[in-house]
């Protein structure tokens, strides 16, 4: 009979992306860079694997669907990395969902929202985030994975 392993596998990092990020690389590259979302997903999967971790990578243009993904992460994720895109500036529902999580949450923005239009300077998501990384382009996602990996190692 096969031996039961007592090594518990770490749950995946949920990497959630908000509205319009599916169009990355196609418009405004001077603000958001040339890297497309599928390329970011591949980079994230490789970075997570280097830490012995896995990812669930999602993008949605719908606020309620992002809430659903955050609720899923409550029970099925080790941590959340979220670029809420435009919803970061408007969504109390997404903040509420984040505040229900008992796992680390890193907010990522490709651009530095504090250097941009005043309506982008405030993020509701920041109130619920463990940490925030912005202005580093696609590299920000990788640094967020590093931060999560460190955090999970400390907790082991």
Catalytic residues: 32, 109
Q: Under the criterion CB under 6 A, does residue 23 sit at the interface with ligand CA2?
A: yes
* Residue 47 is a binding residue for ligand CA2 (CB under 6 A): no
Instruction: Extract the tokens encoding 77.
Output: 């994720």
Q: Between residue 71 and residue 100, which ones bind ligand CA2 under the rule CB under 6 A?
A: 83, 85-86
Q: Do 13 and 80 touch, CB atoms closer than 8 A?
A: yes
Of the pair 74, 89, the CB lying nearest ligand CA2 is at 89
64/129 Cα distance (integer angstroms): 19
Structural tokens at position 136: 């580093």
Tell me the site size for ligand CA2, rule CB under 6 A.
Answer: 16
How many CB atoms lie under 10 A from the CB of residue 70?
24
Q: What does the binding site for ligand CA2 look like in residue numbers (CB under 6 A)?
A: 20-21, 23-24, 26-28, 32, 83, 85-86, 109-111, 113, 120
């Amino acid at each position: 009979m096969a031996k039961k392993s007592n090594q518990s596998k770490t749950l995946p990092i949920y990497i959630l992306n908000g509205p319009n990020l599916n169009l990355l690389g196609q418009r405004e590259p001077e603000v958001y860079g040339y890297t497309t979302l599928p390329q970011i997903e591949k980079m994230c999967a490789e970075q997570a694997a280097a830490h012995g971790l896995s990812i669930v990578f999602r993008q949605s243009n719908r606020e309620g669907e992002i809430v659903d993904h955050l609720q899923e992460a409550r029970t099925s994720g080790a941590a959340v990395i979220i670029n809420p895109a435009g919803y970061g500036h408007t969504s109390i529902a997404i903040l509420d969902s984040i505040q229900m999580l008992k796992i680390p949450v890193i907010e990522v923005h490709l651009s530095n929202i504090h250097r941009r239009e005043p309506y982008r300077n405030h993020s509701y998501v920041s109130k619920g985030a463990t940490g925030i990384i912005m202005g580093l382009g696609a590299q920000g996602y990788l640094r967020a994975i590093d931060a999560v990996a460190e955090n999970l190692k400390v907790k082991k």
